[in-house]
Amino acid sequence: MEYQVRSRVLKARQILASGKNYDKAGELLAQAADITQRFTRTDLQPELLSITAQKLARQQQFAESEALFQQAREIAAAQHDTAREATAVNGQAMLRMLSSRYDEAIPLFEVAHAKFDQEGARFGLRAVDNNLAICYGRLGDFERALSYRQTLTKLIPPSVLQANNVGEMGSLYLDVQQPQKALPYYREALQLARKYGHSSDTARWAGNLTLALAAVSQWEEAEKALAEARELGPEPRSLVFLNIAEAEIAIGRGHFADARELCERVIRSNPQNTNAIWTAYADIGKAWTGEGNREQGDKAFEKAIGVIEASQSLLSGDDYRMMFLARLIQFYQDYVDLLIARGEPVKALKVADSSRARLLAEAFSKSEDRQRVGPVTDFQLKARSSGRTWLSYWLSPKQGYLWVVSASKTRVLLIPGSDAITPLVEQYRGFIEGAMRDPMTDESEAGRKLYEMLIAPAAEDLPKNAAVMIVPDGPLHQLSFDTLPVYGAGKPHYWLADVDAAIAPSFGLFRSPQSIRGRPRPALLFGDALSPTAAYPRLRFAAQELAGASKQLSARGTKLVTGKDVRPEVWRELKPDDYSIIHIAAHAEENRARPLESALILSPGKGYRMLARDLISVPVSADLVTISACRSSGARVYAGEGLVGLTWAFLHAGARSVIAGLWDVSDESTALLMNELYSGIAKGDAPATALREARLSLLTSPYSKPYYWGPFQCYVR
């Protein structure tokens, strides 16, 4: 009897793997189920239910498939059959992955991984790791997905599984808009699939190769790969991407009506595949634009944006939501390029700004600020109300734009793209931070070029001592603009001497700042923690720094928390929302892989790390939060969200402005700078102005090199 069941299950599995004749597979599974019922073999039920659920999933009957996987999971758990329980959980996770709900799939895959590991099921572990790599890749966590892929490469022998792993490596590069790097992986996957796989496997990688070839405009090769994929008979769930690939070829060939028809078919037939839907809308937009119909093209692009934003809002965690938009930023870049080429710079700025700081904007739209946060309809009005000229940067790999917005005009300037700017930023950071060199005595070619690229084009709009608001993009989040050397006519000097600059996440997030002067609320001074480990010795000058701030702010009243009381669990109890100024003097620890796990290092208590993600949940309405800590500005730049870490967390919690540092610096020089900062604050200067004056004061001290004063930035909203 058991042989009769297993032979039918095996044949059904083979049919499902081939991607053809699902009805025959269903008949075999129904026969196997009938045999198990007649002989009351309940131990075989979980396996039969799971394989039947897999068949339904391949036929895109997700609700019915979910019900069977859940039933299989419950029966297997009751029977203490860990292996089959793991299979059912893995199936549930697969359903979420196929529905583009990657954030929901990951925790289920992790449960399946633990159960397969408990059973020593190596094949199951590899399958789960493959799926986790797909999920992290689709969410935009390229590094983690790549790590899974590289590990699997060492474990899998030449086989169809290796074809899938190599092919998905190509998909990682395609997702981050590097189709040239994707091509060799797809070609290798196609060769392996031809040798070891079913025709459906070969069709899958021929289809993916088509997408990469279309992305680099190799139309003839793309058409050949597409023809092979269609001839081999792909699985139904692969057809959507073949239709998209064919549409993109049609656009490249100028067959715009054909492209629209293919994309509309994708939208109608794949209501749960949001990735396919927004891609299809974007291609419809390109097709209409190719025909010269701007109005219809814009409507399609706006529908694509709507799908992207709705998909992002449904994700369960801030980490996933940031990664998701970062992966899709190429769409915004393409649309901005198109609008600039059409001579619509203001509309292009609206699209660019709509992609920025979305999670921060969403947080404030739910708060008392909701009337002041949202899409900008008049950029010049925003510049007028802020009292500053705005420099808003946008960097695609090959081309960048700088919008200069004042109260009276808006203009856009072409600047180099991130491919040219990124290495210069890294070189200049190394010059002033790593080597501690002084560009006033030792000329920096990288600094010169950055000034000429980023600032000089806007010089006519920036009179001496102009108040400036900078909206950075990409690598520019890591640049201290004020440290850039001005080597033109006259005496060389830092740009700091020319402007009073602050940094904003976006136009849409900014509201006009109010002066701190006259506010009745006191200041909270928090720091000088005990050393929790040898890696974080007590800061020698933290006590001096806090004492200086306390003296400067004594007129408004201060609460000083130091030593053993500076513990993570104390933060909420202090009710930081009651203070208008918060100063934190502590070590900081950045976490680039998980920026929201960047931490302030405090005295030992219930742990000693106060994580950025924990700070978000404690309301803060301070006009100024100063994080006098190493590398406190942020740990990682996300396209669309900006620099994420401790500064981002405090802005998210409600702070109006945050002063923080881009790199490690002496706490002795920091104590002097902070004393000058709060002297200006006590006189009524706005935070950005007070910071500028404090930095200028260090130019005539032993700490005149930009290494000492350059890292501190004022971020406002």
Tens-digit pLDDT profile for residues 94-103 = 888 888 788 8
Q: Are 364 and 302 in contact (CB under 8 A)?
A: no
Q: What is the pLDDT of residue 192?
A: 93
At 588, give phi and psi (nearest 5°).
-135, 155
pLDDT at 325: 66
Q: How far apart are CA 537 and CA 551, in angstroms?
A: 26
Report yes or no: 234 and 19 within 8 Å, Cβ to Cβ: yes
Please give the Cα distance from 623 to 540 (Å, whole number). Answer: 28
**655 touches 622 (CB < 8 A):** yes
* Residue 103 token pair: 């954030």
Q: How far apart are CA 621 and CA 514, in angstroms?
A: 12
Please answer whether residues 535 and 569 qualify as being in contact, where contact means their C-beta atoms are separated by less than 8 angstroms. no
- Tokens 């199951």 label which residue? 124
User: Rounded to whole angstroms, what are the CA distances from 313 to 271, 356, 363, 369, 510?
Assistant: 17, 14, 12, 19, 21
pLDDT in tens, 236-295: 777 888 999 999 999 999 999 999 999 999 999 888 788 889 899 999 999 999 999 999
pLDDT at 483: 97
**Tokens (6 digits) for 646:** 């401790």
Strand pairing category for 493-494 and 523-529? unpaired
Instruction: Give the model's pLDDT for residue 361.
Output: 65
For residue 400, pLDDT over 70 is answered with: yes
Q: How many CB atoms lie within 10 A of CB 280?
A: 29
CB 129 within 8 A of CB 152: yes
Q: How confident is the model at residue 374 (pLDDT cuts 50, 70, 90)?
A: low
**How far is 113 from 129, CA to CA, in rounded Å?**
8
Domain ranges of the chain: 1-155, 379-503, 523-716
Residue 602 has pLDDT above 50, yes or no: yes
Task: Show Cβ contacts of residue 538 under 8 Å, excluding neighbours closer than 6 positions.
Answer: 528, 529, 530, 531
Cα distances from 684 to residues 39, 368, 501, 504, 620, in angstroms, run: 86, 25, 17, 21, 21
Give the whole-angstrom CA distance, residue 395 versus residue 405.
17
**What b-and-e string marks burial along 243-263, b requiring 16 or more CB atoms within 10 Å of the CB?**
bbbbbbbbbbeebbebbbebb
What is the reported pLDDT for 706? Answer: 96
Count the alpha carbons within 13 Å of 163 in the hemisphere toward its beta carbon: 23
How is residue 497 annotated by DSSP? G
Query: Which DSSP category does 435 fall into?
Result: S
- Give the other-Cβ count within 10 Å of 78's Cβ: 11
* Average of per-residue pLDDT across 374-403: 89
pLDDT of residue 664: 81
Q: Are 357 and 376 in contact (CB under 8 A)?
A: no
Element holding 328 (H helix, E strand) = helix 318-341
Confidence of residue 358 (pLDDT cuts 50, 70, 90): low
Could you give the maximum distance between any two Cα atoms of the chain, in Å? 96
pLDDT beyond 70 at 4: no
**Residues contacting 201, CB < 8 A, separation 6+:** 160, 163, 164, 193
At residue 172 the predicted structure's pLDDT band, cuts being 50, 70 and 90, is confident
Question: pLDDT tens-digit profile of 528-553?
Answer: 999 999 888 888 889 999 999 999 99
Instruction: With a cut of 50, say whether residue 140 has pLDDT above it.
Output: yes
Pairing of strands 466-471, 499-503: parallel
What is the spatial distance between Cα 574 and Cα 559, in angstroms, rounded to a whole number? 10
More confident site: 645 or 661? 661
The architecture of the domain spanning 523-716 is 3-Layer(aba) Sandwich (3.40)
Task: Say if CB 687 and CB 627 are below 8 A apart.
Answer: no
Whether the pLDDT of residue 464 is over 90: the answer is no
Rounded to two decimals, what is the model's pTM? 0.77
DSSP 666-695: -HHHHHHHHHHHHHHHHTT--HHHHHHHHH
pLDDT, position 102: 83
Is the per-residue pLDDT at 112 higher than 60? yes
- In tens, the pLDDT along 191-249 reads 999 999 888 889 989 999 999 999 899 999 999 999 999 998 777 777 888 999 999 99
The amino acid present at 297, given as its one-letter code, is: G
The CA distance from 417 to 177, in Å, is 15
Question: If you ran DSSP here, which 8-state letter would residue 193 be given?
Answer: H
Express each pLDDT in 468-505 by its tens digit: 999 999 899 999 999 999 998 778 999 999 999 999 98
Assigned token pair, 9: 């299950």
Q: What is the mean pLDDT of residues 562-589?
A: 93
pLDDT at residue 371, as a whole number: 44
Q: How far out from the chain centre does Cα 215 lie?
A: 22
Q: Which of 658, 650, 660 is nearest to 628 (CA)?
A: 660
CA distances from 471 to 115, 380, 453, 642 (A): 47, 15, 15, 10
CATH fold match for the domains 1-155 and 523-716: no
Report the mean per-residue pLDDT for the chain.
86
* Alpha carbon distances (Å) from 409 to 341, 350, 389, 404, 462: 20, 15, 10, 8, 13
Q: What is the pLDDT of residue 177?
A: 76
DSSP 353-388: HHTSSHHHHHHHHTSTTTTT-S--S-HHHHHHHHTS
Query: Burial of 296 by CB count in 10 Å (0-12 exposed, 13-18 middle, 19+ buried)?
Result: middle
Domain 1-155: which topology? Answer: 1.25.40
Least trusted range by pLDDT, from 10-24, 173-187, 331-345, 349-363: 10-24
Task: Name which of 631, 633, 599, 592 is nearest 613 in CA terms.
Answer: 599
What pLDDT, in 10s, does the model give residues 37-48? 555 566 677 777
Q: 160-175 vs 142-155: helix axis angle to the nearest 10?
A: 160
Residue that has been written with the tokens 């590097």 in this structure: 178
Coil vs helix vs strand at 28: helix
CB 308, CB 333: distance < 8 Å: no
**Could you tell me what percent of the chain has a pLDDT over 90?**
49
Selected residue with higher pLDDT from 96 and 54: 96
C-alpha R_g of the chain: 29
Of how many residues is the chain composed? 717
Distance CA 198, CA 202 (A): 7
pLDDT band at 33 (very low <50, low <70, confident <90, very high): low
Q: Could you tell me which of 238, 448, 186, 472 has the C-alpha nearest to residue 353? A: 472
